[in-house]
Amino acid sequence: EPEVTQTPSHQVTQMGQEVILRCVPISNHLYFYWYRQILGQKVEFLVSFYNNEISEKSEIFDDQFSVERPDGSNFTLKIRSTKLEDSAMYFCASSREQGLYTDTQYFGPGTRLTVL
Amino acid sequence: RKEVEQDPGPFNVPEGATVAFNCTYSNSASQSFFWYRQDCRKEPKLLMSVYSSGNEDGRFTAQLNRASQYISLLIRDSKLSDSATYLCVVKDGGSYIPTFGRGTSLIVHP
């Protein structure tokens, strides 16, 4: 069964450093997403991406964040200057369609980001 | 502000028990509803969508009450493998973006 993959599984970085989290969505999917989940908190939407551009983003997704699909398979989330409060699990997801009554998003296993 | 509220639990039940969770949402314009399951330190996985008429999938039954703005999940004949956190997810009419609740923890013991 096809699946979303993410690397690395755990990233430790120093405050102020840049990090890039990588995702490989399911190959025939067209919509891509990033979510984060701070330990013990709810899953929060960050950004959605379609046709090589951002389609929606949340208040959390400020100028420190950017997303890119550099080639036909990878989807990346960059955090330019990490803060302590960026420590969280970051989930990538993908879907073939996007609809109000369908939710066929498949989540990757996540990257745990620890900012020291 | 859009809120999706769940009792965090944990709900601690024996195998074979029936257990039910509720989830309330604040935005009366919410259009679609889902239950996800999340195992400890794993990704969320879609369990089922919630339809207006209610729907059932094996041991799982989901209901929607628009008047009171809540959805419910009923699990019959609980299995040890049902132990997980159950996330309530809501989408509004103007956006495809889901809003997640914090989840309800279920522990099924022998």
CB contact B102 to A (< 8 Å): yes
* Residue A103 pLDDT: 62
Contacts of B98 in chain A (CB under 8 A): 45, 103, 105
CB contact B49 to A (< 8 Å): yes
Contacts of B44 in chain A (CB under 8 A): 43, 91, 107
Interface test with B, best of A5, A41, A54, A105 (most B CBs within 10 A): A105
Contacts of A47 in chain B (CB under 8 A): none
pLDDT tens, position by position, A51-103: 999 999 999 999 999 999 988 789 999 999 999 999 999 999 999 887 766 66
pLDDT tens, position by position, B53-97: 889 999 999 999 999 999 999 999 999 999 999 999 998 877 778
Interface test with B, best of A60, A100, A111 (most B CBs within 10 A): A100
Contacts of A41 in chain B (CB under 8 A): 102
For range A29-47, the mean pLDDT: 95
Share of chain B above pLDDT 90, in %: 78
Share of chain A above pLDDT 70, in %: 97
Contacts of A109 in chain B (CB under 8 A): 42-43
**Who among A44, A58, A99 is closest to B96 (CB)?**
A99
Q: How far apart are CA A93 and CA A80, in angstroms?
A: 21
A103-A86-B43 Cα angle (round to 5):
30
Please list the residues that pair with B74 across neighbouring strands.
B20, B61
- Three-class secondary structure assignment of chain B: CCCEEECCCCEEEECCCCEEEEEEECCCCEEEEEEEEECCCCCEEEEEEECCCCEEECCEEEEEECCCCEEEEEECCCCHHHCEEEEEEEEECCCCCEEECCCEEEEEEC
CB contact A114 to B (< 8 Å): no
Residue B26, phi then psi, degrees to nearest 5: -95, -25
Give the DSSP letter string of A33-97. EEEEE-TTS-EEEEEEEETTEEEEE-TT--TTEEEE--SSS-EEEEESS--GGG-EEEEEEEES-
